[in-house]
Amino acid sequence: MKWLLGAVVSLAVVAAVIAALAGHRFVLVAKGDVAVDSYPAPGPTPIARMNAGERATVLSCDDLKSYPAVHVRLANGTEGYVIEGRYELAAASIWNRSSGSPVVFFCPKF
């Protein structure tokens, strides 16, 4: 039984190390006019716009077959995809829960 407890503790330590090295929390910061397309499937027209300086919580970074998209939640609660526009992803520690974003393991460099 002690070996089982040791194995569980070892796995928890390995998972924490992997999360610390590979996981990130991100906030999207608009650097100009940024269009937010509908989620879960982008539509023909944007559902919202972000102005320079506005921030959005990054929920995930998704591969939509032919292009990468950042799934965000705006301050008003609206969820959508940012596919293009001038923005940056500001990283926060995975231990910092104040950003409100989940831990993301894949976010390509945009």
> At 94, which amino acid appears?
I
* DSSP SS3 for 84: coil
Higher pLDDT, 6 or 73: 73
CB burial of 75-86 (b: ≥16 within 10 Å; e: otherwise) equals eeeebbbbbebe
Spell out the residues 6+ positions from residue 101 whose beta carbon is closer than 8 angstroms to its own. Answer: 25, 26, 27, 57, 58, 59, 92
Distance, CA of 93 to CA of 48 (rounded, Å): 28
Q: In the structure, how many helices (H) and strands (E) does the chain have?
A: 1, 6
pLDDT of residue 23: 59
Distance, CA of 83 to CA of 32 (rounded, Å): 14
* DSSP SS3 for 105: coil
Place 68 in a pLDDT band, splitting at 50, 70 and 90.
confident
Task: Kindly report the CATH number that applies to the domain delimited by 24-110.
Answer: 2.30.30.40
pLDDT in tens, 15-63: 444 444 445 688 889 999 999 999 888 888 999 999 999 999 899 888 8
Nearest CA to 73 among 98, 89, 55?
55
